[in-house]
Amino acid sequence: MPAKGVAVTADVVIAGGGVIGTAIAWRAAAAGLDVVLADPAYGDAASLVAAGMLAPVSEALFGEGALLRVNLLALARFPSFAAELEQVTGHRVGLRREGTLAVAFDAGDYAALTRLTAFRRSAGLEAEELDSRACRKLESFLTPDVHGGVLFPGDWSVDNRRYAAALREAAAAAGVRVVRDRVTAVLTADGADGANARVRGVALAESGEIGSDRVVVAAGSWSGAVQGLPAGLRSAVRPVKGQLLRLRHPDGMPPVLTHTIRATVRGADVYLVPRADGEVIVGATQEERGPDLTVTAGAVHDLLHDAMSVLPVTSELILAETCAGLRPGTPDNGPIVGDAGPGGLLLATGHYRNGILMSAATADAAVACLTGRAPAPEWEPFGPGRFLTRQGER
Ligand SMILES: Cc1cc2nc3c(=O)[nH]c(=O)nc-3n(C[C@H](O)[C@H](O)[C@H](O)COP(=O)(O)OP(=O)(O)OC[C@H]3O[C@@H](n4cnc5c(N)ncnc54)[C@H](O)[C@@H]3O)c2cc1C
């Protein structure tokens, strides 16, 4: 039932139009729901800054088994999702499946890579150890000084800008209505503290209210600023700054890379991600600086220095763009996806370093919740309840 005086109503309102909100909007509309997506800066957020790695293997870290399982689910889902997106829009999204070549600059870096590789193998992930010469056979522009490396064939990548643009086009074609405004609050029928409170819509900064009995908060790093979320959830997502460079080959220069390279250079991590159109992404810093989007000279220097240490030809590429984005981080590095607090409220946020990778699987999980079905079991550890329980608010 629409709220009194509300001009716009919908089956579902989605707050946030990064890859997560837009992927959910597209799939929800394709499932027959009438969807409104609200975002004051639609098409301009972390989703566009990202490197586009779909890298469950080289992102697998000690103690993050549940996250690995959901990342593997996400990777398995990605190709069919991308294929449908390409078919609906007629645009290629640049999915590449060459894998990640992790390289270690010195013996200390190699020792760390060896320990991680043993862990990843024990989790059933494929890994092929390579000496320096074998690394250069795969990537001829690598410095001969590289100590050694490991090929992780189970990692892929996508051109996240093309992908995000295709998602927006597919959502529009499926009938999603976009309101360029900020959601200030989730509105509930019985007041925020009522035991049986239900969502009745959202309040917008400029354009009144939208009536709906289902609301998805997918506002990335800003999710906690939406009023009406249970307090434990408002503080669960924080921005983690990342600075990143976009390089381009000069006209006529053949591609300098085929695989994604993840290098450790005397303890510092850097990655280089090649695109089919000749772009090479170099990233990224990881900084706890709140909502700061400045690009610093030091970060540009460090990223280029480390990239050139392993791939000297980087110095011949054109520095086309420097940018910074905010990863939506959470206390346990896992996403927050599922029903939360008042009936009809769904969260899809906190995707931290893997939001591009997880977007398709998150859309599936969210649409399952919206249509009364259970999401895949891999999502079970990542419900909003883990933060409510921690705060004693259930
Ligand atoms: C440098 C860097 C590199 C990365 N590399 C990778 C990678 O290689 N692979 C990978 O999988 N992930 C990567 N990520 C992470 C990935 O970018 C994020 O996890 C992902 O973009 C999160 O998507 P999102 O839609 O939740 O958030 P965002 O893309 O941040 O979108 C949030 C949207 O919500 C809107 N919004 C905010 N507040 C409101 C409100 N109140 N009402 C309405 N709308 C609102 C914003 O305008 C924005 O459009 C990287 C991130 C960074 C910064």
pLDDT at residue 320 above 90?
A: yes
pLDDT of residue 45: 83
Strand pairing report for 345-349 and 336-339: antiparallel
What is the reported pTM?
0.96
Q: Tens of pLDDT along 16-39?
A: 999 999 999 999 999 999 999 999
Shortest-distance Cα residue to atom 5 of ligand 1: 50
354 lines ligand 1 (CB under 6 A): yes
Residues sharing a CB contact under 8 Å with residue 353, sequence separation 6 or more, in sequence order: 59, 327, 333
Mutate-to-test residue for ligand 1 from 351, 352, 362, 382, highest number of ligand atoms within 8 A of CB: 351
Cβ neighbours, 10 Å, residue 40: 16
The per-residue DSSP string of 326-385 comes to EEEE-TTS--EEEE-SSBTEEEEE--GGGHHHHHHHHHHHHHHHHTT-PPPGGGGGGSTH
247 lines ligand 1 (CB under 6 A): no
Q: What is the pLDDT of residue 341?
A: 79
Residue 363: is the preceding peptide bond cis (ω within 30°)? no
Ligand 1: does its nearest atom lie under 6 Å from the Cβ of 7?
no
Distance, C-alpha 298 to centroid of its chain = 25
Distances from the Cα of 388 to the Cα of 20, 231, 267, 375, angstroms: 22, 8, 37, 20
Residue 226 CA, closest ligand 1 atom number: 41
∠ at Cα 350 (386, 95), nearest 5°? 130
Mutate to test the pocket of ligand 1, among 12, 14, 20, 179 (most ligand atoms within 8 A of CB): 20
Per the listing, tokens 């959830």 go with 233
Predicted confidence (pLDDT) at residue 391 exceeds the cutoff of 60: no
For residue 380, what pLDDT is reported?
97
Atom number of ligand 1 nearest to Cα 44: 49
349 contacts 20 by C-beta, under 8 angstroms = yes
Which residue's CA is the closest to the ligand 1 atom numbered 19?
Answer: 355
Which residues, in sequence order, are CB contacts of 175 under 8 Å at separation 6+?
Answer: 29, 34, 35
**Atom 51 (ligand 1): residue with closest C-alpha?**
50
Which protein residue's CA is at the shortest distance from atom 47 of ligand 1?
41
Q: For residue 190, what pLDDT is reported? A: 76
Q: How big is the chain, counted in residues?
A: 394
Q: Is 214 exposed, middle or buried (0-12, 13-18, 19+ CB in 10 A)?
A: buried
Tell me what pLDDT residue 95 has. Answer: 97
Categorize the per-residue pLDDT at 260 as very low, low, confident or very high, splitting at 50, 70 and 90: very high
| Element spanning 249, H or E | none
* pLDDT bucket at 194, cuts 50 / 70 / 90: low
Q: Is the pLDDT of residue 79 over 60?
A: yes
Residue 208 clears pLDDT 90, i.e. is over it: yes
Q: How far is CA 165 from CA 86, 195, 244, 320, in A?
A: 11, 41, 20, 20
pLDDT at 342: 87
Q: Residue range 205-222: average pLDDT?
A: 96
d(CA 154, CA 71): 11
HSE-up of residue 149 (Cα within 13 Å, Cβ side): 31
Q: In angstroms, rounded to a whole number, what is the distance separating the alpha carbons of residues 368 and 380?
A: 13
**Residue at 179: amino acid letter:** V
pLDDT at 209 over 90: yes
What pLDDT sits at residue 393?
45
Three-state DSSP state, 234? helix
Read off the pLDDT of residues 106-132 as tens digits, 9 standing for 90 and up.
Answer: 999 999 999 999 999 999 999 999 999
Q: What is the residue with the minimal CA distance to atom 31 of ligand 1?
A: 18
pLDDT for 191 equals 54
Cα 357 from chain centre: 6
Which tokens go with 271? 């990655």
Query: Is a pLDDT exceeding 80 seen at residue 6?
Result: no
Tell whether the model's pLDDT for residue 359 goes beyond 90. yes
More confident residue, 205 or 47: 205
